[in-house]
Structures are given as C-alpha cells and as structure tokens.
Chain A
Amino acid sequence: MQKKIETPIDQDTVKRLSTGDSVLLSGIVFIARDAAHKKIAEMLDRGEPLPIDIRGQVIYYAGPCPAKPGQVIGSCGPTTSGRMDAYAPRLIKLGLAGMIGKGTRNTEVIASMKDHGAVYFCAVGGTGALLAKCIVSQEVIAFPELGTEALRKAEIKDFPVIVAIDGRGNDIYETGRLRYKKTVCDA
C-alpha cells in the first residue's frame, strides 16, 4: 500500500510515516549534494541567511546529468547520503523535515532526526532515468558555478521512495538485513 505525501512536510506527517512505508512524494524538493552542502555550511558559519527557508522542506541528495533538448532534467537518481552526514544535523535543527538519498546515516543524524522530527527516505540507487521522469520542473537557485552540484529547486510528482529511517529512529538498514540474514556454511 503506497502512501501519497505532499511536500513540504509538517510534524504530523513526520509522525505518520514509519520505516518501510512505500511513499509517492509530490511537491517541491531542493536538490543538493556535497559541494552545495559545504557552501551552505560556510554561509551558516559566517552568519549569512540561507538561499532557502529550510523549515519543513525536503532535500534530495543528487547531482543530475545535463538535460537533453526537450528534457526537464537528465538522469537524476540518489547519491550516497552518508557523505552529507557531516552537514545534516545542523540543517535538521533549522527545520529540515525530510531527506531523500541512498544508504545508511550515522548516529548523529538519526539522533537529530528524533530530536527535531525529520524523516529519511531512500530511492533506489541507479534508477536515475526512471526517477528523472518524476521531476516535472527544476531550476538552479544558487551556486550555479558548481555545475551538477548546484542547488536546485525541483517539483516532483509521484516520486517513488521508501521510508528508510522514520522520526522515531527506526532504521531499515538495520532491520531489513537482519530479517533476511542467513548463515551460509563456507565448506
């Protein structure tokens, strides 16, 4: 059973979502990866206002391919979220309510998600062509010099994700593999 969720996400929605839920996400998301996060962290260090009001928003960790003529965006699947772990708690504290990426998060990120109410969705890594079809519009809103790593505002429609870590800290990367773990005798 798939849940349809609209962004931005309020705290009631965060509470309603549980690890393992299959979700079709629609609405505005911000696309940012390593270099844009580093820039955002530097702006916060300098006490400057951020290019976006992050409260209730969702960041999608991705760096798309260039769009061909007639395309909204090129292939755009999730990148490894763990590289953004150094930055995520600070943004969650400022009100970031959702992240989309792939792979595990560290204990600091999960603790911060529990403290402030945020959810981490995973999309299937390596499905950038399929996911690009769920992006209906996008524009670069900051750091254009970063190329594929620029900060983008995008509108997504029925973007398929799974709740990987919910607001209570339940982690599919822990529970999922335990369920299917088998001991294979290495004779």
Chain B
Amino acid sequence: MKTIKAERVIETVEDLCIKANCSLNSDIIEAISEAIKNEESPAGREALKQIKTNSEIAFFEQMPMCQDTGMTVVFAEIGQDIRIIGGDLGDAINEGVRRGYLKGYLRKSVVDDPILRTNTGDNTPAVIHYEIVAGENLKLTVAPKGFGSENMSAIKMLKPSDGLAGIKEFVVETVDKAGSNPCPPVIVGVGIGGTMEKAALIAKKALLRPIDIRNGKRHIRELEELLLKMINGLGIGPAGIGGSNTALAVNIEVYPTHIAGLPVAVNISCHATRHAEAFL
C-alpha cells in the first residue's frame, strides 16, 4: 500500500491555489483570442482584449487574474490503495488552502456562518469532494469559484416529458437571466441526470473539462454545440454590453437517472474558469 504524507498534500494544495488563480489555462486563452477575431461588437472586442491582457499581467506578475479568488472547491480522487499518514486528509487540504491564500496574496472571501457572516480570515473551509477510485494515485484538483457567476447558477427537476426541449429552454433561460452579472463570456457547465445533488456535482465537474474537448457521446456533443449557438444568439456579449460572444463553451456531463426524473443543473462560470491539478 502506497503512503502519502499529509505534509505533501498541504504543500501541493498551497501551490495549486496560487497556480489556479494566477494562470488562466491555455484552452481558455485560445478561445478568447478566437473570440477577439469574430466578435461583432467593437466594444465587445475591446472588452475581450482587456480580458486577454489581464491574463497576461496576472501570469507574468503572479497576481490573481480576478480579485474574487473564490471559494476554494477541491476534488480529491483517492486511489483505494493509498494511505495518508501524518494527519487527516481534510485538515491537510484546508491547511493548504490557508497557506496558499496567505502566500499568494489571494482574497479571503469565506464567512463562517451563512447567516452571521464573519469572515474566517483564511478562505477556509474549502468545499471538498472526495471520490474513491481504483489504483494508488491521489489526484487533487483545486478549482476556486467566484460568486459573480456562482450566484447565477440554477437547478431544476424537469419531468421526463420535458425532454430535450425542456433542457434547452432551461439552460438558455438561465444564461439569459444571468445577463451581464457572471462576467461574460462565460463557460456553462451543465449536469443532466442522477439525483438533485448528483446533477449539481457533475455540472461543476463539467467546468473542469478543457473547453476545446467536447463530450464523447454524439448526442451530447451535438447538444453542447447547439446550446452554445443559442446562447451566443442572446446578444449579451462580452461584459454584458452587447455582442456575439456570450459563452466560450457549453460543457455537459450526464449520469443515469430515475424513470420519473430529469434533473438539470446549470453551473455558470466566468471567463476566469480556474482549475489546477496534481497527482501524488
């Protein structure tokens, strides 16, 4: 059985917090460059250019691309043949977040109680999703999530009879209502199927997939492409001031569901869709 020291988890999460917040992934930078070329609105083009320049400043100066450095979402895929020694895994992840947000001069945006709302001062606790998988690797993904876009997300328990038309209507309506708030051009994560919480979780996971990779299932890939066209027809545009690039991608994940249900979750993310991963 492979052993991994908790201290290594701490150091890894610390690094991933800084990396995710300061370095926009290449798939998104390429999509923004493409959008600059095809954007119909002059003001929209200017907004996209600012977004691109911003990502360059963030990378070269190692400063966060957005001041909302998010609530830290961590996916831990734990090989079943691993043992963590020298501390609790959850504590180690949170310690990594604490150190990363301090060392990286990242904003602390977490309050300890949703009603009383006192800032915890170190951006902990993280939202941690654990999954036990085969093998002896520990895969850690840090995905800081800003709330300008998180607040615009939605979930709906559709009826099976609502079908594909109901799914399209709900996804497009959610992005339409979000308008300028989630910092368009956005990336739309959609989870279809499972139970209520499963749909929400796979919608979040859909945002981790590079946006130049489409779903492997043909009918889902076609739905991703159609929804992207419909969303870009809304006219919201970069920064929400009107234009032809409202979304850079629609990423959909699906899961088997119940004979009586069709859960659909839409997790909207801004152009700063941040995630960094490491294998231990």
Task: Give the B-binding residues of A (Cβ under 8 A).
Answer: 20, 22, 62-68, 71, 74-77, 79-80, 82, 102-104, 122, 124-130, 132-133, 147-148, 160, 162, 164, 172-173, 175-184, 186-187
With CB as the reference atom, state the residue of chain A lying closest to B57.
A129
Q: Which residues of B contact A127 (CB under 8 A)?
A: 50-51, 53-54, 66
Interface of A is mostly: loop
Interchain CA distance A22-B241 in the complex, whole Å: 12
- CB neighbours (8 Å) of A172 from chain B are 241-242
- Interchain Cβ contacts under 8 Å between A and B, 24 examples: A22-B46, A63-B109, A66-B107, A67-B105, A74-B67, A75-B63, A79-B68, A102-B180, A102-B240, A124-B238, A125-B270, A126-B270, A126-B271, A126-B272, A130-B53, A147-B119, A176-B235, A176-B240, A176-B241, A176-B243, A177-B237, A180-B44, A181-B233, A181-B235
Interface residues in B243-280 by Cβ distance below 8 A to A read 243-244, 270-272
Complex alpha-carbon distance, A173 and B57, angstroms:
28
Is there an interface contact between A75 and B241, defined as CB atoms closer than 8 Å?
no
Given contacts A128-B64, A162-B239, A179-B41, 19 further A-B contacts (CB under 8 A): A62-B67, A65-B63, A65-B64, A65-B69, A65-B106, A74-B67, A74-B105, A122-B180, A122-B241, A124-B51, A128-B68, A130-B53, A147-B119, A162-B43, A173-B179, A176-B243, A177-B234, A177-B235, A186-B226
Which B residues, 182 to 229, have Cβ-Cβ distances below 8 Å to chain A? 183, 226, 229
- The answer to whether A75 and B65 touch (CB under 8 A), given A64-B107, A125-B183, is yes
B41, B226, B230: the one within 8 Å of A176 (CB): B41
Min CB gap B128→A, angstroms = 23
Structural contact, A180 and B50, CB atoms closer than 8 A: no
Measured CB to CB, the residues of B under 8 A from A are 40-41, 43-44, 46-47, 50-51, 53-55, 57-58, 61, 63-69, 105-109, 119, 121, 146, 148, 151, 165, 168, 179-181, 183, 226, 229-230, 232-244, 270-272
Q: Which of B107, B230, B244, B271 contacts A186 (CB 8 A)?
A: B230
* A179-B119 contact, Cβ under 8 Å, with A64-B107, A104-B180, A125-B148: no
Q: Are A104 and B181 in contact (CB under 8 A)?
A: yes
Task: Look across to chain B and name the residue whose beta carbon is closest to the beta carbon of A177.
Answer: B235
Measured between alpha carbons, how far is A129 from B106 in the docked complex, in Å?
A: 12
Complex interface: chain A residues within 8 A of B68 (CB) = 63, 77, 79, 128
Q: Specify the main secondary structure of chain B where it touches its partner.
A: loop
B residues in contact with A186, CB < 8 Å: 165, 168, 226, 230
Chain B: minimal CB distance from A125 (Å): 3
- Are B181 and A103 in touch, CB under 8 angstroms? yes
A residues less than 8 Å from B151 (CB atoms):
80
A102 partner residues in chain B, CB cutoff 8 A: 148, 180-181, 183, 239-240
Name the B residues within 8 Å of A187 (CB-CB).
226
Q: Is the CB of B50 within 8 A of A130?
A: yes
Q: Contact: A129 with B58, CB < 8 Å? A: yes
**Is the Cβ of B121 less than 8 Å from the Cβ of A147?**
yes
* Known A-B contacts A103-B179, A176-B241, A184-B230; A126 and B66 likewise in contact (beta carbons under 8 Å): yes
Q: Are A76 and B183 in contact (CB under 8 A)?
A: no
Q: How far is the CB of A52 from chain B (nearest CB, A)?
A: 22
Please tell me if the beta carbons of A180 and B229 are within 8 angstroms of each other in the complex.
no
Given the contacts A74-B63, A77-B67, A129-B58, A63 and B107 also touching, CB distance less than 8 Å:
yes
Alpha-carbon distance between A133 and B179 when the two chains are bound, in angstroms: 27
List residues of chain B with CB within 8 A of the CB of A74: 63-64, 67, 105, 107
A75 touches B58 (CB 8 A): yes
Taken together as a complex, chains A and B put the C-alpha atoms of A133 and B226 apart, in Å, by: 39
A176: which B residues are within 8 A, CB to CB? 41, 43, 235, 237, 240-243
The interface residues of chain B lying within 8 Å CB-to-CB of A122 are 180, 239-241
Q: How far is the CA of A8 from the CA of B238 in the complex (A)?
A: 28
